Each structure stands twice: as structure tokens, then as C-alpha cells.
Amino acid sequence: MKPRISLITLAVADLERSLVFYRDGLGLPTDGIVGREFEHGAVAFFDLAGGLKLALWAQDNLAHDTGLEKQPISSTAFALAHNVEHRQEVGAIMAAAERAGAAIVKAAQDTFYGGYAGYFKDPDGHLWEIAWNPHMLPG
């Protein structure tokens, strides 16, 4: 297996609500929900940097497709991180996320590594870190 990820899928309770959060609240580009013509197929894709895509798919559909029993989402199972170029972007993105319905978990603050970061949970409880790290600036 080559060390690359091309798609990250987040299971969501309400696909329409999550589409609005990520598209309108966070400003991520998307063509909206596609695949409605297929049973268990409705999904929203968002283009991210480097060709990576974020997919939102109803948790019921993911459980159906995998054959696994639906489980509660755990905010401490993993976190997605969005690194920014400038320190002040952290607060602006955190505020936009909160206006869109995110729950602020940890307000933006100085970090032990010399950066500035905060955490929020999306409407389904998925954890996001917004960070400015002067040692890992995005390309």
C-alpha cells in the first residue's frame, strides 16, 4: 500500500444539515449531494488540498454498506486538523464554525510547540483542530 489517502468519509446523522455546515458555514467547495438515485447512495463530496476529498455519508448508509452495527460517534477517536498560514486565521475559522453550529471544545490559545490552535466539534461530533504551527505551514 502506498502512503496516501485520497478520501476521508465522515458518517453523519443528517446529510442535508451537514452539507449546509461544511458548504455554507465553513465554505468548503462542493457540487452538493449526488447519488440520490441509488438506495443508500446519497453523498456529498468536498474538494480539499492536494486532490484529497472529504465525503459526507449518512451513518445509516455506511453501516448498511459495511454490514457493521451503527455505533455512537466518538469525538475522541480521531481528529481532523486544518493548518493555516497565519495565526489570526485560527480565530476567524473557529468563529465561522461556531456560527455554523459547531461546538467549541477548546478555545484558540497558544500551544506548547509555539503555535496557536483550538478545537471544535461539527454537528455530528467529529473533532476538528484549527491550528497555526510556524514549523508546519501549509504549502
Residue 91 pLDDT level (bands cut at 50, 70, 90): very high
Q: Are residues 85 and 62 both part of a single domain?
A: no
Look at residue 139 in the predicted model and tell me its pLDDT.
74
Within a domain: 37: yes
Q: Are residues 60 and 84 both part of a single domain?
A: no
Q: Are residues 39 and 88 both part of a single domain?
A: no
Look at residue 122 in the predicted model and tell me its pLDDT.
98
Look at residue 19 in the predicted model and tell me its pLDDT.
98
| Percentage of residues of the chain with pLDDT beyond 90 | 94
Closest CA to 83 of 139, 35, 8: 139
Q: Are residues 41 and 87 both part of a single domain?
A: no
Phi, psi of 32 (to 5 degrees): 90, -160
Question: For the chain, how many structural domains are there in total?
Answer: 2
Domain finish residue from 66, 88, 107: 66
Within a domain: 36: yes
Is the pLDDT at 81 greater than 90, yes or no? yes
CATH of the domain at 17: 3.10.180.10
Sign, CA torsion 80/130/16/123: positive
Sign, CA torsion 3/135/137/28: positive
Domain that holds residue 37: 7-66
Spell out the long-range contacts of 102-110 with Cβ–Cβ below 8 A and sequence spacing 24 or more: 102/21, 102/25, 102/128, 105/75
Look at residue 34 in the predicted model and tell me its pLDDT.
97
| Percentage of residues of the chain with pLDDT beyond 70 | 100
Within a domain: 110: yes
User: Once rounded to an integer, what is the mean pLDDT over residues 100-107?
Assistant: 98
> Tell me: the pLDDT tens digits for 18-64?
999 999 999 999 999 999 999 999 999 999 999 999 999 999 999 99
CB 120 within 8 A of CB 104: yes
